[in-house]
Amino acid sequence: MSSINFHTKEIAVKIVYYGPGLCGKTTSLQTVYRSLPEADRPNLVSLATEVDRTIFFDFLPVTAYRIRDFKVRLQLYTVPGQVFYNATRKLVLNGVDGVVFVADSQPEMHDSNLESLQNLAENLAELGLESDRVPLVMQFNKRDLARAMPLEEMDRAYNQRHVPVFATVATDGTGLWDALKTVSQMVVNDLIRKGMGQQIKQQEQAHAERKDDAEARRAPTTVAEAVSQAMRGGLWPAGDVARLGDAIVAALEAGQYDAAVLAIQDMLNAEVQRWAVEQGHAPGDALATFLYLRGVPAARYRGLLQAVVAARAGRPVSQAAAMSAFVTALEVMW
């Protein structure tokens, strides 16, 4: 679930490592983790069984690089490869921006690789994503094994979309960063194609114009002058907001600054309410506002809300609902 925060100047993108059981997804993440400079090494969250099979997912947040003056944060997930954990795979895949498909180079894993690719396409389709457009790279992993299938053969068998392929050894790190850099660059390009670049440009332009404007204009010397300058600029949109805006202006002009501050708060509350309702959130809910700012879609927020309501009422909450809530929390906290 990519999100862009103009305030902190950060872009967060979600990248999922996908592939059959034991192909090396968790190992890839662990090795990426170990290769990070110790000073800014974040937490690696792993939910595994005693024998190190992933049961839910692994999660690693990495602050990667800059695009313009935005910091790009990569949220890396692995899914459990075992066939029977499909519900979890789908849950982790929700809101994905880019996929690293990890194929196991051992010949006996051929069918499992194909099955997992098929499963990826099905899950993406069920989540309403076009499986042939989602940014994707492939890691042909375990290249250190003597029995590894030839790369060309694997490419023919798995790479119908002709996406970038990397020969990797997850245990020693060979190829991992190249794969990750490439997929994250593809994700950012995809976001730009979808209009995020335009959004960034517009914000930068608006910012520059505001600066020019302010410099060109003589600085107001009194509150009344400032207010009348603001009014000339058509400060408020129409409707209730304009009415509340007038109240602020009136209070300022009368020198009732406490009343002005309260009126400003009223106006902001009204705006948050309007905005929350428009997004399908419960009005006046600070959590809704926060989640919205972090880019969580209304449908996922409603899911979270339903789980909370059920839990508070002492009704049972499903594992999927709890995991979904957990993934949402990770995405917004990191």
Applying CB under 5 A, does 185 fall inside the site for Mg ion?
A: no
Instruction: Tell me which stretch binds ligand GTP (CB under 6 A): 37-45, 158-166, 167-175, 232-240.
Output: 167-175
From residue 118, alpha-carbon distances to 45, 83, 267, 279 in Å are 27, 12, 51, 34
17 strand-pairing partners: 78, 100
Subset of residues 14 to 53 that bind ligand GTP, contact rule: CB under 6 A: 19, 21-27, 52-53
Taking the least distance from each CB to Mg ion, the nearer of 93 and 248 is 93
Q: What is the DSSP letter of 174?
A: B
Q: What is the rounded distance in angstroms from the CA atom of residue 331 to the CA atom of residue 333?
A: 6
Helical H runs in the chain? 25-35, 86-93, 110-126, 151-158, 176-193, 196-216, 223-232, 240-253, 257-278, 286-293, 298-312, 319-333
CB of 78 to Mg ion, least distance (A): 5
CB of 104 to Mg ion, least distance (A): 12
Task: Give the residue carrying structure tokens 């600054």.
Answer: 257
Applying CB under 5 A, does 26 fall inside the site for Mg ion?
A: yes
Taking the least distance from each CB to ligand GTP, the nearer of 141 and 184 is 141
Report the sign of the C-alpha dihedral through residues 184, 73, 306, 290, in that order: negative
Residue of 1, 13, 59, 81 that binds ligand GTP (CB under 6 A): 81
Taking the least distance from each CB to ligand GTP, the nearer of 20 and 245 is 20
Taking the least distance from each CB to ligand GTP, the nearer of 26 and 185 is 26
One symbol per residue from 51 to 80: x for binding Mg ion (CB under 5 A), - otherwise; what is it?
---x--------------------------
Taking the least distance from each CB to ligand GTP, the nearer of 275 and 326 is 326
Applying CB under 6 A, does 145 fall inside the site for ligand GTP?
A: yes
CB of 50 to ligand GTP, least distance (A): 13
Applying CB under 6 A, does 54 fall inside the site for ligand GTP?
A: yes
First to last CA, the chain: 12
Subset of residues 87 to 116 that bind ligand GTP, contact rule: CB under 6 A: none
Taking the least distance from each CB to ligand GTP, the nearer of 98 and 245 is 98
Calculate Rg over the CA atoms of the chain: 25
Q: Looking at beta carbons, which residue is closest to ligand GTP?
A: 81
Q: What is the rounded distance in angstroms from the CA atom of residue 104 to the CA atom of residue 113?
A: 7
Nearest to residue 188, comparing CAs of 1, 13, 5? 13
Instruction: Tell me which stretch binds ligand GTP (CB under 6 A): 77-85, 86-94, 282-290, 304-312.
Output: 77-85
Q: Coil, strand or helix: which one is 172? A: coil
Applying CB under 5 A, does 2 fall inside the site for Mg ion?
A: no
Q: What is the DSSP string of 86-137?
A: HHHHHHHHTT-SEEEEEEE-SGGGHHHHHHHHHHHHHHHHHTT--TTTS-EE
Applying CB under 6 A, does 144 fall inside the site for ligand GTP?
A: yes
**How many chain residues touch ligand GTP (CB under 6 A)?**
22
- Decide if 21 contacts 115 (C-beta within 8 A): no
Applying CB under 6 A, does 249 fall inside the site for ligand GTP?
A: no
For residue 154, the one-letter residue type is M
Instruction: Tell me which stretch binds Mg ion (CB under 5 A): 49-57, 125-133, 190-198, 263-271.
Output: 49-57
Residues contributing to the site for ligand GTP (CB under 6 A): 19, 21-27, 52-54, 78, 80-82, 141-142, 144-145, 169-171
Residues contributing to the site for Mg ion (CB under 5 A): 25-26, 54
